[in-house]
Amino acid sequence: MPAKKILVVDDDPYILMSLEFLMQKNGYAVIVARNGTEALQLVQQESPDLVLLDIMMPDVDGFEICKFIKEHPTLKQVIVVFLSAKTREADQRKGLELGAAKYVFKPFSTRSLIKEINQLLQ
Amino acid sequence: MAMDEVKDEFLYTVTHELRTPLTSIRALTELVHDNQDMPDAKKTEFLAAVIREAERLSHLITQVLKLERFESGKQGLSFESVSMDQLVQELLPDLQPLAQRKQVRILTQLTNPIPAAELDPSLIRQVWYNLLTNAIRFAPENSIITIQLASTENNLRCSIKDQGKGIPTESLELIFDKFYQAPNQTLKKPEGSGLGLAISKKIIELHNGTIHAENSEQGGACFIFNLPISKTSS
């Protein structure tokens, strides 16, 4: 069975670097996007199984990307997991209402994050 | 917005900004710790990033405390008679390494002899430092940053012009707000704290001066600040 594909979206290079390593190490095929515009292109081009999505980005924010995915006829089954430093309850509620499977607060533990991702992709 | 709400909003933004470097530090150290078989080169790369992020975190904390001192009025000014031209010339060598990395040249132009002004040199040095590091960050490689100093009867006019892509018109005023990032930036930080311009504005206002940004006709951003030459002329 081919490796499941994960698109990691974050405008912070170091967070991107750590997530890329973590996902590859656990056997996933990883694609990275450094901003919202790149994320919108790659999600259509690559149809990943799961998107790890930052919210605050200077061009297109993560909420808009999630909305795009969930309203797209062929992409709506893509699993979205938000990773965000926005820790207000209202933001978390908004993320889940837009169809995300999880909303994880930054800073996150790589150990529990990978467990959650593994479960979602089982 | 009521004062409490402004404070809450600031606190929320600060904690949000602190979470980002903390996220990298936690994730990268956990990965190095949990993956004993990680190649040495990768380990070094990750640990170097941890060090940079820890530096960013402490810089951010210093800047937040600095801004708090200005805003609460706890920061007093120590006025001295200062030659602005000399102050700038003394500061430039500190910025050379940063400028050289991008092959950026910094030129200084004096439009007339600049009289000594009464100001707090260490705070004004911070303003120049903030504005010049910003200009270097946004300047294209192999470009020129121009500093102009001019004086009128009562004021000094200082400007810093770069040859970057300029600032979106709708952001010209907002960039002096804490943590504001212009929407045409594709990569965020990690160099800045997002507080440099807010701090600079506070310092200039404490001197009864003004500061603003505009886009020059040739393209590129231009930051201009005016300071009264003597305390009494303000």
What DSSP string describes A4-67? PEEEEE-S-HHHHHHHHHHHHHTT-EEEEESSHHHHHHHHHHH--SEEEE-S--SSS-HHHHHH
pLDDT of residue B233: 47
Q: Do B186 and A106 touch (CB under 8 A)?
A: no
Percent of chain B with pLDDT over 90: 59
pLDDT of residue B187: 46
Predicted TM-score (pTM) of the model is 0.77
Instruction: Assess whether pLDDT exceeds 50 at residue B147.
Output: yes
Question: How far apart (Å, rounded) are the C-alpha atoms in residues A13 and B24?
Answer: 9
Question: How far apart (Å, rounded) are the C-alpha atoms in residues B57 and B19?
Answer: 9
Best residue in B9, B14, B20, B26 for a mutation probing chain A (most A CBs within 10 Å): B20
pLDDT of residue B8: 76
pLDDT of residue A58: 75
Backbone angles phi, psi at B178, to 5 degrees: -60, 135
Strands A29-33 and A5-9: parallel
* Separation of CA A71 from chain center: 16
Considering only residues B170 and A49, tell me which one the structure prediction assigns the higher pLDDT: A49
Residue A37 · residue A60 · CB < 8 Å: yes
- A59 contacts on B by Cβ (under 8 Å): 183, 186
Q: Do A14 and B190 touch (CB under 8 A)?
A: yes
Q: Do A110 and B181 touch (CB under 8 A)?
A: no
Chain A closest CA to B189's CA: distance in Å? 8
Instruction: Assess whether pLDDT exceeds 50 at residue B234.
Output: no
Q: How many CB pairs under 8 A join A and B?
A: 84
ipTM higher than threshold 0.85 = yes
| Tens-place pLDDT, residues B195-229 | 889 999 999 999 999 999 999 888 899 999 999 99
| Tens-place pLDDT, residues B95-108 | 998 899 999 999 99
Determine which of B32-41, B81-90, B185-194, B221-230 has the lowest per-residue pLDDT on average: B185-194
Strands B155-161 and A5-9: unpaired
Q: How many CA atoms lie within 13 A of A96 on its CB side?
A: 9
Tokens of B122: 């260490």
